[in-house]
Amino acid sequence: MKKSVYLNSTLLTDFYELTMANGYFVRGFGDREVCFDMFFRSVPDGGGYAIMAGVEQLMDYLKNLQFDEEDIAYLRSKNCFSEDFLQYLLHFQFVCDVWAIPEGTPIFPGEPIVTVRGPVIQAQFIETMLLLLINHQSLIATKANRVCRAAQGRAVMEFGSRRAQGGDGAVLGARAAYIGGCAATACAMADRDYGIPATGTMAHSWVMMFDSEYEAFRAYAEEYPDNCTLLIDTYSVLKSGLPNAIRVFREVLEPKGYRPRGIRIDSGDLAYLSREVRRILDREGFPDCKIVVSNALDEFIIKDLLSQNAPIDSFGVGERLITSRSEPVFGGVYKLSGVVKDGELIPKLKLSENVGKMTTPGFKSVWRLFDNATNHAIADVVTLHEEVITNDEPYLLFDPEHVWKSQWVDDFHAVRLPVQIFRKGVCCYQTPDIREIQTYCKEQVSTLWDEVLRFENPHRYYVDLSKPLWDIKNDLITQARIASYPRKK
């Protein structure tokens, strides 16, 4: 049964969200309608794509967003908020419209992955939690997908709870890792709350608790004969661990009609040891006994092991997955893109000396174009929300920064990516089962070209702007430049 992690997290927010909200309220335009977008600027680890995750927890947060008496008492104690504003918060009711790209979808820099439209106080206030939830799980889902692809179809178990940044990092990290492709988790709470298969056998301490390694293995096999995986590296993999395991397989499991599930190696030269273990297991009549390895693995180590023909059946990946140690930040940002005035949305643009920090104005949507012959994704196009990309005529793609780079595409079909998850503050989207999300993720990643999927120097997947949206953005840039020119007296 799924449980909401964020039932009482209204004040898990940056303080300036509250000071701005008070300012909007006092100035009389707290209910002015605005549009905000979340997007990110670069893919972690220099990869070619990221994986969207965290939408379910965002929905839980928004459904439970309210201020209680304790919250109001705390804010009153700060002596910087008007009493009328505090009374507004006490009767707060979320009324925004929200769109999000579904979990498990490959996503790319620059495109809006969450869009919020509604009163500025509300749309602004949810920034912190929205970013926290989507940034964290998208980071871990992206890393997990890289690790699982490196494993080339072999099972990857998420083993990272003890190294995660806090309880939420462990549980929601396990959820995100499963979306990204992991087969199981070591976290029991993730199994209880999200139905992610929990797995685990023994630690080195189990082996060391007994007078001998053989006794430890025998006791475990007697207790769990139908799921017997033994950890064989406590003392020596080849000199004691494997011989004792084989002895227990013969003396305990076979007489009862059971076969060993596997052995696990957690240290040493995993390529060499796995080859030797496989050779001996096969020779001794246990070709069906699986080899599981762990020990600070990531996608690059797994890739190297398999390139050395290591006969490994599955991987337990911990700290480097649950913390995305190689790049532990998913740089999603949340920016104002439009303000409604006199019933018309006025596009807003943030300029910067750094082109990468410039925003795209307006109320927008995202379309993905697929080649009909291969079903591979051609490009994403950010459009005005009301635009529709039809499949019955060629479409012009062009690089929004280098417009002379253009291409007409035909024989394609276009899919609008975002789905509406809240309408006037009411949840209107049913989250798929997490297994469905994982399957969907695998299917969608398979639509990307190999050049986008490679780990080193991936091909840039294009995120273009529609011509009407590009015109609006270009006009605003031109107006801003004209306004900044020195004026002659």
Token representation of residue 393: 């005529």
Q: If you write DSSP's letter for every residue of 55-68 in order, what string do you get? A: HHHHHHHHHT----
Sign of CA dihedral 145, 150, 154, 160: negative
Token representation of residue 359: 């925003």
Within the chain, all domains assigned CATH 3.20.20.70 are found at: 201-288
3-state secondary structure of 220: helix
The number of beta carbons lying within 10 Å of the beta carbon of residue 253 is: 19
**Region for 127 from its dihedrals, namely left if φ exceeds 0, alpha if ψ lies in -120 to 50, beta otherwise:** alpha
Residue 105, C-beta contacts closer than 8 angstroms, at least 6 positions apart:
51, 52, 417, 440, 441, 444
Cβ atoms of residues 182 and 154 within 8 Å: no
Helix spans in 224-375 (H): 242-248, 270-283, 299-307, 319-322
- The β-bridge partners of 430 are none
3-state secondary structure of 186: coil
Cβ atoms of residues 180 and 143 within 8 Å: yes
Burial 183-222 (b: 16+ CB within 10 A, else e): bbbbbebbbebbebebbebbeeebbeeeeebbebbbbbbe
Cβ atoms of residues 260 and 228 within 8 Å: yes
For residue 340, the surrounding DSSP H or E stretch is: strand 332-341
Token representation of residue 374: 């291969």
For residue 76, the surrounding DSSP H or E stretch is: helix 69-77
Alpha-carbon distances, residue 405 vs 130, 290, 310, 399, 461 (angstroms): 35, 51, 45, 6, 14
pLDDT tens sequence across 23-40: 999 999 999 999 999 999
The architecture (CATH level 2) of 15-140+328-483 comes to Alpha-Beta Barrel (3.20)
d(CA 346, CA 457): 39
Within the chain, all domains assigned CATH 3.20.140.10 are found at: 15-140+328-483
Per-residue pLDDT at 1: 46
Q: Note the pTM of the prediction, 2 decimals.
A: 0.96
Cβ atoms of residues 291 and 9 within 8 Å: no
Residue 19, C-beta contacts closer than 8 angstroms, at least 6 positions apart:
80
User: Tokens 């013969």 label which residue?
Assistant: 250
Cβ atoms of residues 229 and 198 within 8 Å: no
Nearest of 128, 104, 103, 107 to residue 116 by alpha carbon? 128
Which segments of the chain have a pLDDT < 50? Answer: 1, 4, 6
Q: Does domain 201-288 have CATH number 3.20.20.70?
A: yes
Cβ atoms of residues 390 and 383 within 8 Å: no
pLDDT tens sequence across 172-203: 999 999 999 999 999 999 999 999 999 999 99
Written as one letter, the residue type at 249 is F
Cβ atoms of residues 438 and 104 within 8 Å: yes
Token representation of residue 295: 């020990």
3-state secondary structure of 193: helix
Task: Please state the separation of Cα 284 from the chain's center in Å.
Answer: 43
Token representation of residue 229: 């995986």
3-state secondary structure of 183: coil
The number of beta carbons lying within 10 Å of the beta carbon of residue 22 is: 21
The number of beta carbons lying within 10 Å of the beta carbon of residue 176 is: 30
Nearest of 92, 169, 166, 98 to residue 130 by alpha carbon? 98
d(CA 30, CA 21): 7
The number of beta carbons lying within 10 Å of the beta carbon of residue 312 is: 23
Token representation of residue 146: 């890289």
Written as one letter, the residue type at 197 is P
Written as one letter, the residue type at 390 is T
Task: Please state the separation of Cα 4 from the chain's center in Å.
Answer: 18
Token representation of residue 485: 């020119």
